[in-house]
């Protein structure tokens, strides 16, 4: 499934649907987490739920983009749906990380070094 996700990632119309791009990236990352951390029926159910969430929202975005005379209320509803989709994906991601993920600790030193460097760069920029 990862080759399919890679292909989707390279072909997602991020310029045309910039309002959905962050949501798409969260979806992609959470789907990959699901593949890594789960198996069997639970994996299938969560991946299906994630797929339906994103593509339902995306298809509404396509309708908004290519149809004319869309009422403002539908546009507002669509924007609200993007936020709801993001929150739902975040909830699934939080579940996966809190219930299924165990940190190895082997990258802790690297993470500290990166955080220190990021802090130093932000101080220098100001």
pLDDT tens profile 12-43: 999 999 999 999 999 999 999 999 999 999 99
pLDDT surpassing 80 at residue 126: no
- For residue 114, CA distances in Å to 50, 103, 104, 108, 119 come to 31, 17, 18, 10, 9
- Return the beta strands (E) in 46-100 as ranges: none
Nearest to 26 by CA among 4, 1, 53, 44: 53
pLDDT surpassing 80 at residue 6: yes
Is residue 82 within 8 Å of residue 23, measured between CB atoms?
A: yes
Average pLDDT over residues 52-62: 95
Is residue 78 within 8 Å of residue 64, measured between CB atoms?
A: yes
Nearest to 58 by CA among 22, 94, 91, 6: 22
Give me the pLDDT at residue 31, please. Answer: 97
Give me the pLDDT at residue 119, please. Answer: 86
pLDDT tens profile 68-123: 888 989 989 999 999 999 999 999 999 999 887 777 677 778 778 888 888 888 88
């Amino acid at each position: 499934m990862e080759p399919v996700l890679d292909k989707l990632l390279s072909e997602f119309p991020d310029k045309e649907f910039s309002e959905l791009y962050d949501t798409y990236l969260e979806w992609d990352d959470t789907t990959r987490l699901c593949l890594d951390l789960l198996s069997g029926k639970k994996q299938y159910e969560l991946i299906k739920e994630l797929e339906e969430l994103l593509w339902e929202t995306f298809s509404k975005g396509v309708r908004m983009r290519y149809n004319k005379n869309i009422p403002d209320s539908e546009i507002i509803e669509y924007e609200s749906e993007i936020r709801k989709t993001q929150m739902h994906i975040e909830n699934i991601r939080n579940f996966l990380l809190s219930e299924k993920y165990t940190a190895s600790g082997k990258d802790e030193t690297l993470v500290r070094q990166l955080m220190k460097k990021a802090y130093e760069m932000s101080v220098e920029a100001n």
